[in-house]
Structure 1
Amino acid sequence: MFCIPENFMSRYLLFICIAMQCSFMLNSARAQENKHQLTGVIVDSLSQKGGEYFTIVLKKDTSAIKSAVSDAHGKFTFAGIGEGQYTLMIGSLGYKPKQLAVKLTRDMDLGKIVVSPSGNELNEVSVAASRPIIKQEPDRIVYDIQADVENKVLSVMDMMRKVPLLSVDADDNVKLKGTGNYRILINGKPSGILTRDPKEYLKSMPASGVQKIEVITTPPSKYESEGLSGIINIITSRKMENGYNGNVNVRHQFPGGPSGNLNLTFKQGNFGANLYGGTGIWQVHGIKITDVRNSRGKAAPSSLYSLGFQEIDNRWGWGGGELSYEIDSLNLITAEVNPYGGYNQQDLNQHFDIRDGSVSSGYDMDSRTRYEWSGTDYTLNYQKGFKNKKEHLLTFSYKFFDNSAPQGNDVMFNNRINFTGLNYRQDNNSISREHTAQIDYINPFKKLTVEAGVKAIIRNGESNFQYLNFNAAQNDYLIDPAQSNVYSNQQDIFGVYNTYTLKLKDWTFKAGARLEGTYVTGNFESTNSSVKSDYFNLIPSVSLNRTLKNSQSLSLGFTQRIQRPGIWDLNPFVDKSRPNFEYFGNPDLEATLSNNFELTYSNFKKGSLNLSLSYNFSNNTQQQVSEYIAAENLTRVTSFNIGKNKLLGLNANFNYPITAKWSLNASANLNYIWLEGMINGILTKNSGLTGYANLTTGYKFEKNWKTNLSFNYGAPDVMLQGQSNNYYYVAVSGSKDIIKDKLTFSALVANPFKKYRAYRNYTEGTNFTQERIRENPFRRINLSMSWKFGKLKGSIKKNERSINNDDTKKTSN
């Protein structure tokens, strides 16, 4: 990172850079190259249906100059092609290769190109070609959810266990390369429903409504520089076509509850609409929670032991509508509205035994914690195309985000022994609003593609928190001003980027940089004080890909990433929902920079093989720290910029079609992590191996029966002050198409031999050790039904560029 001192460069210089970038994009948009477009449709000779995922290569003389993959309808397009004589080569597993001679003097549509299955059988031929599940690109891995036979029965959370580089631990925390520092986007955009903790939404989101999941390990410069490990992009949008269609999915999980979602697509002429929504309930009880803490190094040792049981009632609803209007073939307007809401209520009954030297005390605690969330995302995009080539685009985007996330804690004590603590309540009303304006420009020349853009993000967050003690004399709860406050946070980010992609015969080079200015102000109302932080960052991103023989490739990438603290990391509200433990944010947190290197080998000759080696390091990292205050018999937990991290990782993924009906997928990730940081003036270090392994096999039977078996293992997480325990997950599923491609019934059984699974989190400091054990429901059964209806023709365009705010920390905890 090249860091520019504040006294040298002000925000006005950044505004000049943004203005120059806008001028560059608008002037470049006027300069159009006179090239032609070549299109066609691949058609299966037997079924007369479009050929999906065919590889089409365009050659001039003996050199391949462009390649493409046909879409779900067999369509392919080459843009920006000069006049001349070409050879079109078409191929796919299970089909005879085909070549066509093409003389290009103008825009040309080749129409239907018929391909024949390979083999010389005299009887009726049945071809069951395997759709590739995993695709390796220079800066990311793409997992095709629709190619996975379990997409109709699993949730997105369950599906993430199969995605290379991703893992899900025993407490349902999603990890990217073994860490929780990443960003999650939906269709390349942030969503308010993922603001604080995405796992509840991911558990409720059916995989059948997702196209693919992208794991972007070397994000190009068009993305915000946030997310130390990378970006997880969930693609749900599908092509909208003439006519209408829709699908209904309902499922019931035992234990848990029912959930369902509906999607309806309509298109008439240049107008298209996509309406969708979902709701669900997840209720569980009997979650056993144990806390153990022991002091050390004290003449009079102290200890805490608690045991309790928790019930959870989680309910949610979400929806949305997307409208698209093609003014003409070159101008497109889209708008989207996404409301959502829900709550998570946790009732806990817990007994505490506390010993401080020779003094013993104890009590029973009844607590209720309720998290609520509601909000709406609004998005508006305008896309302008140019006649000379399809990929030449200029896009203007605006997004408004409004979110409310109140939290309430109600704690009561009974059966007291030597304990005088008061019953209390906590209320934290938190709201956040965000405005984003963005311009993106892309212009592909013959071998070089230029991308540029500018962006402004204006964020406002506020937390009004109150602490109320029960006053027996007045028989009421009274506010404690010393523990109540109003905290507001203003964060403004301005950025400009350029990316260049050079495609040669066997090489692809991508390089770019992003300049960002960040201005942060935090205000405390009751003390009339504030904290400020302004900084500039120049973030490079470089990747290259070498295509080898026999469908092999080699990729190398480097990028820097920033972790900015989010509002929940900065919010000083002290969460006391667990007596003897306090959790709070730190308004003084600063941004952290990470350096990431990655080398990847891919082989797609038959099936796929991906091997990657990665290394990253960072200083001044944000680390969660637990401190034991012996005088108060209390553990306080917050975050500080004290850490130094290093990670060396190896990832492998193997996907192989054993037969046309039997597939095998195996993946594994192994990381060695080094952590260190100063805690109260004492250097603390920890290191160790972590990672995961996954094995999945699926078989397609006759009469539209399908089955899958999967096994997952996760090694313990390594943290600065401790570690978690290992875990495993096993599941078997099956599905039956009652009406082919229309009505499907599915079932899944997971972990049938164990009802509960203990998630252990061990932490130690200079004067204490503590362990928290949470026994979550482990055995479960899912039943689901999926129904598709309607018929569509043609297709409707969507914006190629949209807002993707990936610039604040998203952790899995």
Structure 2
Amino acid sequence: MKTPILIAALFFSGFALAQQKPSDTIKSQKAKEIDGVTITKQVFKKQSDRFVYDVAASPVAKGNTTFDLLKQTPLVSTTDDKTLTIAGKSNAIIYLNGRKTNMDAESLTQFLKNTPAENIQKIEVITMPGSEYQVEASDGIINIVLKKKTSDGLNGNFRMSNAQAKYNETSSSVTLNYRKDKLGVSANLSGGENIQGQDYVLKNGNDTSETTTVGGIADPNKNLGGYLNIDYQLTDKSNLALTWNTWANKSYGSTVDFFNTSKIKGEDPVYTRSYNIEDTRSYNNSLNLNYELKTDSLGSKLNLNAAYLTYKRIQSTTNNTLMSDVNGSYGDNMKYVLQSIPQKINNFSGMVDYIKKFKNDFTVSIGGNYNKTKTDNDTQYETFFLIPQKPNKSEPNYFIYDENIYGVYLTLEKKFSDKFSGKIGSRYEITNSVGTSDHAPESRPDMARVEQNYKNFLPYLSANYAINDKNNISYAFSSRMRRPSFWELNPVKNLLTETNYTQNNPFVKAASSYNNELTYMYKSSYFLILSHSYYKDVITQVPLQGIPLHPDGSVGLNNELRYIRTNFGDKQEMSAMIGMQKSFFKQ
């Protein structure tokens, strides 16, 4: 359970710089002479398949980070100050300027926390992504549209912040934007230091035994990263853009300190302490190249996109089990486990989209994508028994995962009138993956190589009807797949305590989801969302309690709580949400 955190103080300082041409200043002076015109702009509105939050027209961006701004965005929330979620959705996929980010979750969080919100033009929340998006299950999309500098010159901002919660947190960033004729460049460098703390109370048991674990985690982090965006207008109809994102994280001296009480019926309680120390550093670099060609005056365009990601993590952990007593004292070390968990990820993706617009408000979109991911995980796992002494136990596992995804889609979108519009589409995906382990148990040779192949047809449908100026209603249906990720297939243990750990499963198969959503909006301020989802072959962690039987045939000695990842039946979810986004004061 995570302890509620109270923000005690917040310090913020910053400055901005700008350069303009003399002609820009003259235009600005002339603009001041024009008055008598008042424009009221909607800050939050519903469009076809998405909610749009116009940040540039809202005062909440000033002095905030992008992560802070997203937490204030309707339908978006976070419970751990790290992971963003969309109401009613299992996961939120972050897009920047319509392109999917390839950063890992930790790097993405730090990137958002160090990017000034003043750089944002608008935020789009897509609760039911169309067939043109490669997402899974009931994922939603948050598309962050950055501001573009339209006039020649240089501007930028510098930001420093300090927040005091359970631990102190500092961060700073500098952003520069430059434009000259057809060339535009924006760059950001940011860094920060924080300690992420969590408190736990874990209980498990049955009528004959029970185990209680109480303690906390302190995870110090140092981060440094940024981005570089370059766009160049080749002609009046074509544009080339290159984006580079980089992030480095260092977390040395992360600690887990737990007090464990084990009780077996008819016997005295056994007290132990689990004290773990972890050192981790990771590096994330992603490159994205995009070419866009406008093919006519109606807005038809061809979009070509290629992206590459490389991620490297070096992690070592020492898990100690110490003797203790009813007072929780630290006694002799009974056993310790040394874990080395390095990880390498390389991902390449390519995408082709063509959007054809016709004069009668009819749009056809067609495209395809290819995604290749390869991971390398050389895990070393060695146990040293001190009390009582016995031979050391070594359990290495070298796991390589190779995945290839091919997808094509077609969508048809029609605006029948100013009040009614609809969209229908479908997506066809082929997935081929192979996972190999060079240390599979002799009794389970099938774990040495696991191949999985899927072919899926995924339909999509949405309709939007504006009843009048104040009332709007929309409906959407989508079918998606939820493929197990490579880390869910890697058959390695992640220890929390001696008798409490998670265990992944190379035999987890893909799950299916079928989603329905009905949305009603009043005055572009109040909204009601009703949703229903049906999941088949749900992927989840099932808690198993008892004396374990290991794959090599040996039987454990202690009662353990293991969280095993597996497919666990079907599931239905229904939800209803009422929300409001309204400003009560004139700005």
TM-score normalised by the shorter chain: which range applies?
0.7 to 0.9
Q: Is the 8 A contact 1:45 1:116 kept in 2?
A: no
Which residue of structure 2 lines up, in the alignment, with residue 384 of structure 1? 293
Cα deviation, residue 421, structure 1: 4.2
The reply to whether residue 584 of structure 1 matches residue 503 of structure 2 is yes
1:466/1:480 contact within 8 Å kept: no
Answer yes or no: is 1:253 the counterpart of 2:155: no
Q: Does 1:515 align with 2:428?
A: yes
User: Could you tell me which amino acid in structure 1 is paired with residue 238 of structure 2?
Assistant: N
Aligned mates of 2:206, 2:115 — CA distance in 1: 45
Q: Give yes or no for contact 2:319–2:337 (8 Å, CA) kept in 1.
A: yes
The residue that corresponds to 1:660 in the other structure is 586
1: distance between equivalents of 2:29 and 2:185?
34
SS of 2:269 mapped into structure 1: strand
Q: Does 1:365 align with 2:279?
A: no
Letter in 2 for 1:517: I
1:320 aligns with 2:227: yes
Counterparts of 2:269 and 2:31 in 1: how far apart (Å)? 81
Distance in 2 of aligned mates of 1:448 and 1:435: 33
1:411 is matched with which residue: 313, 319, 326?
319
Q: SS state of the match for residue 658, structure 1? A: coil
2:534 to 617, 621, 628: 617
Structure 1 residues 199 and 639, CA gap change in structure 2 (3 angstroms): farther
The letter for the 2-side match of 1:435 is F
Aligned pairs for 1:739-754 within 5 A: none
Alignment-mate amino acid for residue 211 of structure 1: Q
Give the % identical residues.
22
CA distance in 2, matches of 1:613, 1:638: 32
Contact 1:218 1:541 in 2 (8 A): no
Over residues 264-304 of structure 1, what are the superposed CA-to-partner deviations in whole Å (9 max), with x where a residue is unaligned?
A: 1111122221111211111366x5433333x223xxx2222
> Deviation at 1:157?
4.0
In structure 1, the partner of 2:184 is: 272
Q: Which runs of 5+ in 2 are unaligned?
A: 1-26, 326-330, 548-556
Q: For residue 488 of structure 1, report the CA deviation from its aligned partner.
A: 0.9
Matched to 2:157, the amino acid is N
Q: Map 1:492-511 to 2 at 5 A.
A: 492-505=404-417, 506-511=419-424
1:442: Cα distance to partner? 1.0
Q: Does 1:542 align with 2:461?
A: yes
TM alignment of 1:694-713, pairs within 5 A: none
1: CA distance between counterparts of 2:525 and 2:88? Answer: 23
In 2, Cα distance between equivalents of 1:155 and 1:539: 37
For 1:425 and 1:438, how far apart are their aligned partners in 2?
Answer: 42
Q: How does 1:445-524 map to 2 (within 5 A)?
A: 445-446=358-359, 447-470=361-384, 480-481=393-394, 483-505=395-417, 506-524=419-437
Structure 1: gaps (5+ residues):
1-43, 51-113, 118-126, 662-813
Q: Does 1:442 align with 2:380?
A: no
What CA deviation, in whole Å up to 9, does each residue of 1:429-473 have, x standing for no partner?
111111111111111111211111111111111211111233779
Give the drift of 1:403.
0.7
Match for 2:341 among 425, 428, 446? 428
CA distance in 2, matches of 1:390, 1:241: 25
Deviation readout 1:648-701 (Å, 9 max, x if unpaired): 22222323343424xxxxxxxxxxxxxxxxxxxxxxxxxxxxxxxxxxxxxxxx
Alignment of structure 1 residues 9-24 onto 2, 5 Å: none
Instruction: Check the 8 A contact 1:228/1:593 in 2, yes or no.
Output: no
Distance in 1 between the 2:384 and 2:32 partners?
Answer: 71
> Which residue in the other structure is 2:31 paired with?
48
What amino acid is the match of 2:301?
L
Residue in 1 aligned with 2:218?
311
The answer to whether structure 1 residue 351 and structure 2 residue 246 are counterparts is no
Shift of 1:569: 1.6
Which has the higher mean CA deviation after the structures are superposed, 308-317 or 333-342? Answer: 308-317
Q: Which has the higher contact order (CA 8 A, sep 6+)?
A: 1
Distance of 1:375 and 1:570 partners within structure 2? 22
The answer to whether the 8 A contact 1:187-1:237 is kept is no
Alignment partner, residue 646 of structure 1: 572
1:244 deviates by: 1.4
Separation in structure 2 between the aligned mates of residue 618 and residue 541 of structure 1, nearest angstrom: 16
Alpha-carbon distance in 2 for matches of 1:535, 1:415: 50
Deviation by residue 1:234-263 (Cα, 9 ceiling, x = unmatched): 334534542111111211111332112221
TM-score scaled by length of structure 1 = 0.61
**Aligned equivalents of 1:546 and 1:47: distance in 2?**
42
Preserved contact between residue 449 and residue 500 of structure 1 (Cα < 8 Å): yes
Give the aligned partner of residue 291 of structure 1: 202
CA 1:309–1:464: 2 relative to 1, 3 Å: same
1:298-329 per-residue CA deviation (whole Å, 9 max, x = no partner) reads xxx22223333443212212212111122211
The CA distance in 2 between the partners of 1:486 and 1:564, in whole Å, is: 22
TM-score (norm 2): 0.83
Q: Is the 8 A contact 2:529 2:576 kept in 1?
A: yes
Q: Which amino acid aligns with 1:441?
A: Y
CA distance in 1, matches of 2:384, 2:280: 22
Which of 621, 627, 630 is the aligned partner of 2:544? 627
Instruction: Determine the C-alpha separation between the residues in 1 that align with 2:142 and 2:71.
Output: 13
Where 2:537 maps in the other structure, the secondary structure is strand
2:451 maps to: 532
Q: SS of the residue aligned with 2:300?
A: strand
- The 1-side partners of 2:315 and 2:58 are apart by 38
Q: CA deviation at 1:201?
A: 5.1
SS in 2 for 1:656: coil
Do 2:111 and 2:225's aligned partners in 1 also have CA atoms closer than 8 Å? Answer: no
Cα distance in 1 for partners of 2:158, 2:383 equals 49
Q: Deviations over 1:752-788 (max 9, x none)?
A: xxxxxxxxxxxxxxxxxxxxxxxxxxxxxxxxxxxxx
Q: 1:479 to 1:275 in 2, by over 3 A?
A: farther
Q: CA RMSD in A?
A: 3.0
Aligned to 1:141: 51
Residue 668 (structure 1) aligns with: none
Shift of 1:413: 3.6
Q: Distance in 1 between matches of 2:186 and 2:504?
A: 40
Task: Provide the rounded CA distance (Å) in 1 between the counterparts of 2:423 and 2:413.
Answer: 4
CA distance 1:168–1:151, change in 2 (3 Å):
same
Match runs of 1:81-230 below 5 Å? 116-117=36-37, 131-169=41-79, 173-195=83-105, 199=109, 202-230=112-140
Q: Pick from 475, 495, 499 the counterpart of residue 556 of structure 1.
A: 475
Query: What does the per-residue CA deviation read over 1:489-529, in whole Å, with 9 as the maximum and x for residues that have no partner?
Result: 11101111111111122321211111111111111123472
Letter in 2 for 1:486: Y
Does the Cα contact within 8 Å between 2:320 and 2:333 map onto a contact in 1? no
Query: Alpha carbons of 1:291 and 1:612: their partners in 2 closer, same or farther (altered >3 Å)?
Result: closer
CA–CA distance in structure 1, aligned partners of residues 274 and 581 of structure 2:
51
Rate the CA distance shift 1:334–1:538 in 2: closer, same or farther, 3 A: same
**Residue 567 of structure 2 aligns to which amino acid in structure 1?**
N
Alignment CA distance shift 1:524-1:191 (3 Å): same
Contact 1:225–1:539 (8 Å) recurs in 2:
no
Write the letter of the residue equivalent to 2:577: N
Decide whether aligned partners of structure 1 residues 278 and 143 sit closer, same or farther in structure 2, where only a CA change above 3 A counts: same
**Which SS does the other structure have where 1:399 is aligned?**
strand
Answer yes or no: is the 8 Å Cα contact 1:352–1:364 preserved in 2: yes
| CA pair 152-657 structure 1, distance change in 2 beyond 3 A | closer
Query: What is the distance in 1 between the residues matched to 2:127 and 2:458?
Result: 15
Equivalent-residue separation in structure 2 for 1:189 and 1:478 (angstroms): 53
Tell me: CA distance 1:582–1:335, structure 2 relative to 1, closer, same or farther (3 Å).
same
Cα deviation, residue 196, structure 1:
6.3
* 1:691-743, Cα deviation, whole Å (9 max, x unpaired): xxxxxxxxxxxxxxxxxxxxxxxxxxxxxxxxxxxxxxxxxxxxxxxxxxxxx
Q: Which residue of 2 aligns with 1:342?
A: 249
Q: How many residues align?
A: 534
